[in-house]
Structure 1
Amino acid sequence: MAGLALCEPGHLYNILQQHRRVPRLAEPGYLCLLGEPGAGGLLPDPACSRAPAPAWAASRGNGMLVPSVSTTRAILLQHAGLNSFLISLDAEEGTAVQYARSFEQFTRHPVLVLRGGYKRFSACYHFLRTQKILWMPQELDNFQPYPVEILPAKLYMGNFKQACDQQIQKDLKIKAQVNISEQPTTLFAEGGKYLHISVPDSLEADLFSTFGTICHFIDAQLDRGAVLVFSSLGISRSSTVTMAYLMHSCQFSLKRAWNYVLKCKTNMRPHRGFVKQLSDWETQIYGTTITDVSEPNY
């Protein structure tokens, strides 16, 4: 058994927002909720999240038997990507830990207990709440994920489509945008600030020379509200800029920034040209190269 660990609400939020060609929530077995609809008023109306499937659905095909949660006011989420569990209780964390230990025997990975329970998660991400209790496969395929959260309620990273979604701007309280795609867009936030760095996603493209400008812009705008960094797909250019910011303003090494952003968005992937520029940026900031980018991880 790998023990227990606390999971921040932002981590669960990012798990819900992962997508490739289609939202990962549409993948069978990616995320499964187990619980009782009458357990303490948590589910399903109005407090269940936009996560798929009815809260009392059986885990899809894994054959696992779990203790009844009908009297524990708990939600059990199986996250296939991590092969771990998150237990959200509207109760004291000590109680959550007690029930989490019941599930340790089912996984080799840590059992994650949602810090603050569902109440805290719902307070942070109230816009994910819905009265819907059943999602059809086609609805999940059309589910529109939000940008991933890099710094809680402050810095987000997404794609061009999300940047053009007025409801997303409103829900996340976006006050500024950093556009790293070649195509310009319209900022919906009234009085919002907009920085467009038109750079192609190619090995010859230069982002290094713009890192300072982008980092100073983000720092200045975070005092006003949330900032969204985006590129066409939200995979290469936006993740490069986001890591450059974490290195500049949060004192992260490239390795730490890489692992941090990868945890937020599991399919982020700067190409080799941008990785080299990030390494040069690290050397410029710290006066020496800390991260060996020749490792296979990069």
Structure 2
Amino acid sequence: MLSFGSSLENKVTLVSSLRAQRQGAMFGAGNCANQIVPRLYLSDLATACDVDTLARLGITHVLSILDFAPDHLPKSITCMHVRLEDRFNVDILSHLPDTTEFIRSALAGRADARVLVHCMMGISRSATVVCAYLIAEHNMSAGDALTFTRSKRPIVRPNIGFERQLHEWEQRFAPPVQESTVGMNQLRDRLRRILDGNTQAQGAYSATGQKQLPRTTEVKS
């Protein structure tokens, strides 16, 4: 695991290095801010430090998921920082309500709002946060959110711990499992009657659990 110093000089050196890396084959040429859904972008730290790119995209809000405090953003931008390391045993789940609300409120509050979410490389931490937003606001499953985000930014790959926590997050938005109105004993009884060919017997129940009365057979003289 790489360790970065907290001095401004070290941060500047790191950002310069990342700016050079983003010209490589892994990221492709040009800027590294990928629009995931309208007005929501995912990027690396280098892009988040590029004032020209932020201005060109019209970024109004930045959500930073880093293990050091960011100090590179214009004061005109509304910022949120979550101090978090990219490790499989780190708790990101407890932060997802706040990060999701930050994105949701920003996009709902202004029609011209643009939100950029970033971590160091835009692969794991920030991708997890964006996927969590898609799960909560766009009714996606964890798997669908990951697939969709990766279709917009192919390098997305949350670490195994973050991916597991995304599935836990998904469960918070799953519709409640409704208990069957048919008791197990009643269901067994109904199945037995069906197998016996006696679906009209007293006490038989419909699929909705409502007791069925014996049908009246009309006898013609």
| Interval of TM-score (by shorter of Structure 1 and Structure 2) | 0.5 to 0.7
Q: Is the 8 A contact 2:61 2:77 kept in 1?
A: yes
TM-score normalised to structure 2 length: 0.64
- Structure 1 partner of 2:48: 163
Match of 1:22 among 21, 24, 28: 24
Aligned-pair CA distance for 1:182: 1.0
- Structure 2 partner of 1:173: 58
Matches for 1:147-162 after TM superposition, within 5 Å: 147-152=33-38, 154-162=39-47
Identity rate of aligned residues, in percent?
A: 27
Match of 1:145 among 13, 31, 34: 31
Which secondary structure does the structure 2 equivalent of 1:286 belong to? coil
The structure richer in helix per residue is: 2
- Structure 2 partner of 1:228: 116
Q: Deviations over 1:26-75 (max 9, x none)?
A: 6xxxxxxxxxxxxxxxxxxxxxxxxxxxxxxxxxxxxxxxxxxxxxxxxx
Aligned-pair CA distance for 1:213: 0.4
1:288 and 1:238 map into 2 onto residues whose CA distance is 29
Aligned-pair CA distance for 1:183: 2.3
Q: Is the 8 A contact 1:246 1:257 kept in 2?
A: yes
Aligned-pair CA distance for 1:188: 3.5
1:179 and 1:147 map into 2 onto residues whose CA distance is 14
Stretches of structure 1 that go unaligned for 5 or more consecutive residues are 1-18, 27-142, 290-298
Total equivalences in the alignment: 154
1:161 and 1:219 map into 2 onto residues whose CA distance is 24
Q: Is the 8 A contact 1:148 1:158 kept in 2?
A: yes
Matches for 1:37-76 after TM superposition, within 5 Å: none
TM-score normalised to structure 1 length: 0.48
In structure 1, give the amino acid aligned to 2:168: D
Distance 1:221 1:242, change over 3 A: same
Which secondary structure does the structure 2 equivalent of 1:178 belong to? strand
1:245 and 1:169 map into 2 onto residues whose CA distance is 21
Q: Is the 8 A contact 2:31 2:53 kept in 1?
A: no
Aligned-pair CA distance for 1:243: 0.4
- Structure 1 partner of 2:168: 280
1:187 and 1:159 map into 2 onto residues whose CA distance is 13
Stretches of structure 2 that go unaligned for 5 or more consecutive residues are 1-20, 178-221
- Alpha-carbon RMSD: 2.2
Q: Is the 8 A contact 1:187 1:194 kept in 2?
A: no
